[in-house]
Amino acid sequence: MLNYLVSLLFICVFFSPLWASPLVDFQVAQPLTLPSDAKQCTVKILERTFAFSYGSPEVVSYTPATDCGTPGSWAGISLNLTVTSNGTQYDRLGIFTLNNVEIWRTSTPEPTRGDGIIWTYLKDVTRYTPLFAVPGTFTLELDNLIETGLDGEYASVLYATFYASSAQHPPGLHADVILPISTLANNSGDLISVPPTFSLNVTVPRNAISIYAEIIPSGNGDEEFWCFNIPNQWLNDLPADTTFGYGPFREVRLMVDGSVVGVVFPYVVVFTGGIAPTLWRPITSYGALDLPTFYVDLTPFVPVLTDGQPHNISMDVVSAENDHEINQNWYLTANLQVVTDKSSTKPTTGKITVYDVQPFAETTTFGSVKNGVVSTTVTATRNIHIESDIISGSGERTHVVWLQSLSYSNVQTYRQNASVQTLRQTTTGSVSSTHNGQSTIVDNFSLPFNVDFTYLTPDWTNWTTSVDHSYNRVAAVHPYVISTTIKNHQTAAAFFQLASTGNFGFGNNSNTFSYSDLNGNTYTWDVSSVNTSITHNAQGGTLAQNHQLPDETSSEVQSIFAKPRLPGRNNP
Ligand SMILES: *[C@@H]1O[C@H](CO)[C@@H](O)[C@H](O)[C@H]1NC(C)=O
Ligand SMILES: *[C@@H]1O[C@H](CO)[C@@H](O)[C@H](O)[C@H]1NC(C)=O
Ligand SMILES: *[C@@H]1O[C@H](CO)[C@@H](O)[C@H](O)[C@H]1NC(C)=O
Ligand SMILES: *[C@@H]1O[C@H](CO)[C@@H](O)[C@H](O)[C@H]1NC(C)=O
Ligand SMILES: *[C@@H]1O[C@H](CO)[C@@H](O)[C@H](O)[C@H]1NC(C)=O
Ligand SMILES: *[C@@H]1O[C@H](CO)[C@@H](O)[C@H](O)[C@H]1NC(C)=O
Ligand SMILES: *[C@@H]1O[C@H](CO)[C@@H](O)[C@H](O)[C@H]1NC(C)=O
Ligand SMILES: *[C@@H]1O[C@H](CO)[C@@H](O)[C@H](O)[C@H]1NC(C)=O
Ligand SMILES: *[C@@H]1O[C@H](CO)[C@@H](O)[C@H](O)[C@H]1NC(C)=O
Ligand SMILES: *[C@@H]1O[C@H](CO)[C@@H](O)[C@H](O)[C@H]1NC(C)=O
């Protein structure tokens, strides 16, 4: 018997390198900061293999866990999405919606055939506790297609973990009421598609004293590579189908009864089939598994919104073109995190004392065509200043100051009949809201995005590319979203070849990531890959002890990919 076990062990050790093990894909991010020593209740929310799932999301009934304290009293909530896939497939968008509120937008790494791929992403969703505290409907929309040449299915399982609160671990902080700004459909992820402008009648609790809007934007279709779109005036100076028009500047506007209250200059999310799939394996582009969200303080409009009547909350996405139009389409949703007066149900009143907001950003557009070189420069600046005096039902007076100061610049150059392309984009912002001088929203960011492209053949069937981008952000919504400082710098380079026998390529990717927060948690992760093998992998900081790094030396010889997504139509 012992001999048998020893030889079994020998066989296992000896042959284990031959056992199929999928490539582990991941996005750099900080580990969860929820208390690992709290009592935890983990429940499976849903499990589904998304094959031909277009228009058929997973919709399940949700019931709050009751074994980790009274629903809603939790110290925190996290989600664990784990997905495997084997085959050829595009990246797909994934939308998690609880009671019509989108709580997480993700996308899928592109699979390959053979051993396939697997990924897990853990997400802190404590700020959505009011939604998790009551029974409802949980939806994952992941529109996948199975057709000739595309057979990758996404086998997905989602768990939620509830962390019991205790004397040591107080309940997580969150707003009192969360209202959806979405299509409110019950059979989808409720994404709003703009254009046209989306509008919804919203009635807020009359005793609302603060309202924070969280906005989730992403470009789709002809707007997926929005930052590569060229101003209409120069579109015809490029070979047909090089890119789309309406320029590269995009601003998401949030309006109440037609007045702009706040805007978002979006972060560029490159999905894993974007530009060259071999840039993003096994390390995805930063944000691809957890699309960044942005906050606008709606509190200055509380005196308008608390009259008990429905108000027209609308959103759109506009460009720097004269008509402000864009292509089809952007996907948006928002949610309103509403804080109510604890000691009174009497309505909040007050008045807006400063409203210094232009309908559109200030923009400039330049371009030139010289010696066959087409270049364009688009810049934008945006300053928003709104102040209000608010009197709660219980008599407390609050002076609110909401400020956004954003700037943007995009320089595109097309040489050699557009076969050599460069993009240099910077987006910076300083956003703040104070309530009686106390800082509530802080959002300072710098989001440079630089790409170089060289098509190596006149038919544009192979190319080299490099991407150098960063996500540097200090953000908080005090006290509901703790102040975090994230700095990520990612550089990636790749070669890609389209071929009738199967598209292939190779690439490398390098990330320097750091995280710190107001609770004293710190984390650093430096990770690089070459041709899907991890070549450098080091973590540090207080959060490192609970986090196991992916450790892989890929034996993958050559993978076949779906056609990459590139700027422009039908390219190549
Ligand atoms: C996430 O879920 C996967 C699949 O069920 C599981 O293997 C993994 O251990 C989970 N991770 C954590 C941190 O709970
Ligand atoms: C992936 O699918 C292929 C068939 O397309 C199959 O040969 C292979 O065994 C599968 N791999 C795994 C790990 O299931
Ligand atoms: C969604 O379901 C809710 C609750 O059942 C219902 O009130 C609402 O009308 C439904 N929405 C749509 C668009 O059907
Ligand atoms: C909101 O309701 C008003 C009537 O109260 C109606 O006239 C208006 O069309 C509605 N707006 C939207 C966006 O549904
Ligand atoms: C709501 O506001 C938007 C933006 O100003 C506007 O386009 C729309 O017509 C308004 N809807 C109604 C029903 O007033
Ligand atoms: C420029 O590229 C277009 C398509 O990419 C091609 O049709 C055209 O012949 C090229 N022109 C020159 C001068 O190479
Ligand atoms: C955000 O930027 C503003 C303006 O540059 C600065 O005054 C403020 O200190 C910054 N806040 C943080 C938390 O970095
Ligand atoms: C690019 O593709 C062409 C055929 O379309 C091929 O001749 C050439 O060798 C390829 N270049 C590289 C660097 O592989
Ligand atoms: C990454 O790939 C680019 C282009 O393919 C190459 O020039 C560079 O040396 C590579 N870097 C590493 C670390 O392998
Ligand atoms: C990456 O793969 C390409 C193509 O197979 C190969 O030419 C290159 O040498 C590889 N790079 C490294 C560092 O292994």
Q: Quick check: CB of 258 below 6 Å from ligand 5? A: yes
In 3D, which of 110, 81, 84, 85 has the Cα closest to residue 95? Answer: 81
Q: Quick check: CB of 86 below 6 Å from ligand 2? A: yes
How many Cα atoms are found within 13 Å in the side-chain-facing hemisphere of 356?
Answer: 12
Residue 506 to residue 498: CA distance in whole angstroms: 12
Stated as kind and residue range, the H or E segment containing 15 is: helix 2-15
Q: Quick check: CB of 113 below 6 Å from ligand 2? A: yes
Whether the predicted pLDDT of 443 surpasses 60: yes
> For residues 272 and 280, is the Cβ–Cβ distance under 8 A?
yes
In 3D, which of 252, 267, 287, 286 has the Cα closest to residue 181? Answer: 252
Q: Quick check: CB of 187 below 6 Å from ligand 3? A: no
Residue nearest to atom 10 of ligand 1 (CA): 80
Residue 91 to residue 108: CA distance in whole angstroms: 5
| 178 CA → ligand 4 middle, Å | 21
| 121 CA → ligand 1 middle, Å | 9
Residue 91 to residue 358: CA distance in whole angstroms: 38
Q: What share of the chain is helix, strand, coil (3-state, %, to 5)?
A: 10, 50, 40
Whether the predicted pLDDT of 437 surpasses 60: yes
pLDDT, position 12: 37
The CA-to-CA distance between both ends of the chain, in Å, stands at 63
Strands lying side by side in the sheet with 251-256: 198-202, 311-318, 251-256, 259-264
> For 58-72, what is the mean pLDDT?
97
What are the structure tokens assigned to 45, written together? 């929310």
Q: How confident is residue 546, by pLDDT bands cut at 50, 70 and 90?
A: confident
Report the DSSP pairing between strands 117-124 and 23-24.
parallel
pLDDT, position 551: 82
Q: Give the ligand at the shortest distance from the Cα of 462.
A: 8
Residue by residue, DSSP assigns 127-190 as GGHHHHTS-EEEEEEE----BTTB---EEEEEEEEEEPP-SSSPPPP--SEEEEES---SSS--
Atom of ligand 3 nearest to the CA of 100: 1
Q: Quick check: CB of 115 below 6 Å from ligand 2? A: yes
Q: Quick check: CB of 364 below 6 Å from ligand 4? A: no
* C-alpha pair distances (Å), 149 with each of 113, 465, 561, 572: 12, 25, 10, 18
Question: Which residues make beta-bridge pairs with 383?
Answer: 405
pLDDT, position 571: 58
What are the structure tokens assigned to 398, written together? 């609050």
Whether the predicted pLDDT of 53 surpasses 90: yes
Rounded percentage of the chain residues whose pLDDT exceeds 90: 91
> For 541-547, what is the mean pLDDT?
92
pLDDT in tens, 198-223: 999 999 999 999 999 999 999 999 99
> For 444-468, what is the mean pLDDT?
96
pLDDT in tens, 149-159: 999 999 999 99
pLDDT in tens, 328-352: 999 999 999 999 999 899 999 999 9
Whether the predicted pLDDT of 283 surpasses 90: yes
Q: Quick check: CB of 184 below 6 Å from ligand 3? A: yes
Rounded percentage of the chain residues whose pLDDT exceeds 70: 95
Question: Which residues make beta-bridge pairs with 15?
Answer: none
pLDDT, position 570: 60
Residue by residue, DSSP assigns 372-402 as TEEEEEEEEEEEEEEEEEEE-TT--EEEEEE
pTM: 0.95
Token pair 């200059």: residue: 265
Residues with CB under 6 A from ligand 7: 430, 442, 444, 474
312, 314, 315, 316, best to mutate for ligand 4 pocket (most atoms within 8 Å of CB): 312
